[in-house]
């Protein structure tokens, strides 16, 4: 007859017992933090938290309490894949996105700080979402972009010098490629800045 297998004493854990009535994970947390429920996020907790807050109507932003990436974006596992928590909240609060390209846009401008307040979210086209970010001052266009080599002052100077210098000369002066200079002069990049010639 098979020996009865003991399981962790933490409700709904269901994992095999290791020591002191706890599974390996809970036992390690007890040793590290003094509490078997401290110091870490259990699988499913972020999704459960999000689903519990779909009807949230409180004042101010509802900030994601779990880990976020370096840009402040929160992700959650849902339906066997990782997705932005704000997108899932928008989906649960407002229904499926009208099209696959629609994005979860924040009326508060605090998506980069982890806001997932269902009232602050709506479906928007990429263009509408970009306009929101510009209006909120959170756009990463121009010198705010992590890969930007030039400043807004450089762009205005390039545009003002454009008619009197060749692409090669401007390229050497500012340390970027000729094609970059061409795109700047045509207004294909840094289009959020008014041209110095206007």
Q: Report the pLDDT averaged over residues 1-27.
A: 79
Other CB atoms within a 10 A radius of the CB of residue 189 amount to 17
Confidence at 198, pLDDT banded by 50, 70, 90? very low
Region of 62 on the Ramachandran plot (φ > 0 left; ψ -120 to 50 alpha; else beta): beta
In whole numbers, what is the pLDDT of the chain averaged over residues? 83
pLDDT at 70 over 80: no
List, in sequence order, the alpha helices (H) in 23-175. 24-33, 45-52, 85-94, 126-136, 152-161, 167-174
For the stretch 90-106, pLDDT in tens is: 999 999 999 999 999 99
142 against 80, higher pLDDT:
80
pLDDT above 90 for 69: no
pLDDT at 127 over 80: yes
- What percent of the chain shows pLDDT beyond 90? 26
Question: Which residues have a Cβ under 8 Å from the Cβ of 81 and sit 6 or more positions away?
Answer: none
Q: Shortest CA distance to 108 belongs to which of 95, 92, 80, 89? A: 89
Under 8 Å between Cβ of 118 and 55: yes
**Can you tell me the mean pLDDT for 73-86?**
89
Whether residue 159 has pLDDT greater than 90: no
135 vs 131: CA distance, rounded Å: 6
- Provide the 3-class DSSP secondary structure of residue 100: coil
Among 176, 95, 119, which Cα is nearest to 105's? 119
Residue 196: which pLDDT band, with cuts at 50, 70 and 90? very low
Instruction: Give the confidence band of 194 by pLDDT, cuts at 50, 70, 90.
Output: low
CA distance 140 to 159: 21
Q: What is the mean pLDDT of residues 21-28?
A: 84
**Which position has the higher pLDDT, 126 or 150?**
126
Task: Give backbone dihedrals phi and psi of 89, rounded to 5 degrees, phi first.
Answer: -60, -45
Domain boundaries, given as residue ranges, for the chain: 1-40, 45-139, 145-186
For 129-155, how does the pLDDT look when each residue is reduced to its tens digit (9 = 90+)?
877 777 777 655 555 555 667 777 888
Q: What is the pLDDT of residue 192?
A: 65
Q: What is the CATH number of domain 45-139?
A: 3.90.75
What's the confidence (pLDDT) of residue 130? Answer: 79
Share of the chain above pLDDT 70, in %: 86
CA 158 from chain centre, in angstroms, equals 33
Enumerate residues 6+ apart whose C-beta is below 8 A from 115.
Answer: 61, 62, 63, 64, 86, 106, 108
């Amino acid at each position: 007859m098979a020996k009865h297998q003991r399981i962790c004493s933490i409700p709904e854990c269901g994992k095999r017992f290791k020591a002191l009535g706890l599974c390996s994970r809970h036992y390690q947390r007890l040793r590290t933090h003094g509490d078997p429920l401290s110091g870490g996020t259990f699988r499913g907790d972020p999704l459960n938290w999000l689903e519990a807050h779909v009807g949230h109507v409180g004042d101010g932003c509802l900030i994601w309490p779990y880990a976020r990436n370096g840009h402040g974006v929160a992700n959650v596992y849902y339906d066997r894949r990782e997705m932005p928590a704000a997108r899932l909240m928008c989906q649960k609060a407002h229904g499926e996105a009208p099209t696959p390209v629609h994005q979860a846009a924040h009326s508060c401008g605090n998506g980069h700080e982890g806001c997932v307040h269902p009232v602050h979210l709506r479906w928007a086209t990429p263009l509408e979402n970009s306009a929101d970010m510009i209006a909120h001052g959170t756009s990463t266009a121009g010198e705010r972009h992590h890969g930007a080599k030039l400043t807004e002052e450089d762009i205005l100077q390039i545009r003002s010098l454009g008619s009197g210098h060749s692409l090669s000369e401007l390229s050497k002066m500012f340390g970027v490629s000729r094609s970059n200079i061409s795109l700047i002069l045509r207004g294909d990049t840094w289009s959020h800045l008014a041209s110095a010639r206007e």
